[in-house]
Structure 1
Amino acid sequence: MLKVLIVVLLFAVIISLFSGLFFLVKDEGKTSRTVNALTIRVTLSVMLLALLAYAVVSGQLPINPSPLR
C-alpha cells in the first residue's frame, strides 16, 4: 500500500510539472496558473519526501547499503 502511494505521488508530481509547462506556454505569463502549478508540485514533492522518510524510518522501505550483496 505504501509503495502504491509513493508511485501515485510521483505521477502527481509529473502531471503537475507538465501542467505548469502547458500553462506557461499557453498563458504567456498573463495568469497565475503557472505559479499555482508550481505550488502544487512543490507541496506534492514535500509530501513525497516526508512519506519516503517515514517509510525508511519505520522499516517499511528498506535501504540497501551495499548493492553488491
Structure 2
Amino acid sequence: MWLKIIIVLLFLAVLFCLGRGLYFLLKGEGSSSKLANSLTARVGLTALIMLIIVAAWLFGDIHSNAPWLYR
C-alpha cells in the first residue's frame, strides 16, 4: 500500500512541475532558466517513478494479472 501512495505523490509532483513549466512558458519574462529547471525536475521525477516501479517488480512487490501471461 505504501508503494501506491509514494507513486501517486510523485505523480502529483510531476503534474505540479508541469504546471509550473506552463506558467513560466506563458509568463515569458526572460525566465527560461526557471522553465528549464521546472522541466528538468519533471523529467527527474518521472525517471524516479519508473525506477521505483521497475525495482518493485524485480523484488516481487508488484506483479501482472494479465490473462495472456498464464496459458
TM-score, normalised by the number of residues in structure 1: 0.86
CA distance in 2, matches of 1:21, 1:41: 12
Give runs of ≥4 in structure 1 deviating > 3 Å. none
Residue 29 of structure 1 and its aligned partner are, at CA, apart by 5.8
Residue 65 of structure 1 and its aligned partner are, at CA, apart by 2.2
**1:1-69 to 2 correspondences below 5 Å:** 1-26=2-27, 28=28, 30-31=30-31, 32-66=33-67
Identity %: 35
In 2 relative to 1, CA 29–52 (structure 1 residues): closer, same or farther, beyond 3 Å? farther
1:10-54, Cα deviation, whole Å (9 max, x unpaired): 11111111110011111x161211000010000000000000101
